[in-house]
Structure 1
């Protein structure tokens, strides 16, 4: 897809400098059903990234995860697939949400990032998903 502009499907950040993003870079060469992406963790203490591929089923699972979060429940996204998993606990150990990125397949590292997202973050992420789907499905 020519002209794809990279975007963040997930962007959870706070004023303390902690953030977790799922940055979508564009179509996977020779596989039109896949989008090249990466999970990017940035904190004052630790930073890292891990590559992943998104496709329709993973985007559907993210939509379901957003519904679950909106109902007040924690989520595990991409837990049963190859590669990294992303978990969100709404009530973490520091009295704020926590995003856990687990990369058991490659690095065998798990990172837990506390974040205090804005009140409308779930609606914002639904909008991010809709925008990605609109651009990706465009002719």
Structure 2
């Protein structure tokens, strides 16, 4: 039996039913250096998903974003790329962390999700990133 491919790159959720996840679905059929992925937002009020293509450089920039968050700074991931972006504000408008998913170039929709992640969430996400990179990046060719 083969190794199960890591799927969840990002999984931020709270006890109120709010969550933002980034799931790796597999190799992108149209680009050998890309991974097919999706951003999924779920709240009691609004839910949605959007397709995304991840590259090795986007995964590396997620590592940089985790470093900024660990240093107590807000971050924006994929902000300058075409397609959706994810920003994390550690002290959002409602006095708790907020994840902002923005699809300015496509649907022109922005969703702001307040949530309080567990204390060890940055370490957890470093581990998730390591698993995704170890499994998927060797398969990509640029």
Contact 1:6-1:26 within 8 A present in 2 as well:
no
Q: Structure with the greater relative contact order (CA < 8 A, sep ≥ 6): 1 or 2?
A: 2
Unmatched runs of 5 consecutive residues or more in structure 2? none
How far has the Cα of 1:91 moved from its partner? 0.4
Distance 1:6 1:130 in 2: 10
Contact 2:79-2:86 within 8 A present in 1 as well:
yes
1:135 and 2:135 aligned: yes
Contact 1:4-1:26 within 8 A present in 2 as well:
no
Q: CA RMSD in A?
A: 1.6
Tell me the TM-score normalized by structure 2. Answer: 0.92
Residues 60-105 of structure 1 show CA distances to partners (whole Å, capped at 9, x for unaligned) of 1000000000000000000000000100000011211000000011
Contact 1:21-1:39 within 8 A present in 2 as well:
yes
Cα gap change, 1:123 to 1:137, in 2 (>3 Å): same
How far has the Cα of 1:30 moved from its partner? 4.6
Tell me the TM-score normalized by structure 1. Answer: 0.94
Distance 2:26 2:63 in 1: 19
Unmatched runs of 5 consecutive residues or more in structure 1? none
Distance 1:111 1:30 in 2: 28
Q: Which 4+ stretches in 1 moved above 4 angstroms? A: none
Contact 2:56-2:137 within 8 A present in 1 as well:
no
Q: Which residue of 2 aligns with 1:42?
A: 42
Distance 1:4 1:26 in 2: 12
How far has the Cα of 1:134 moved from its partner? 1.0
Residues 24-61 of structure 1 show CA distances to partners (whole Å, capped at 9, x for unaligned) of 10101153310000110000000011111000110110
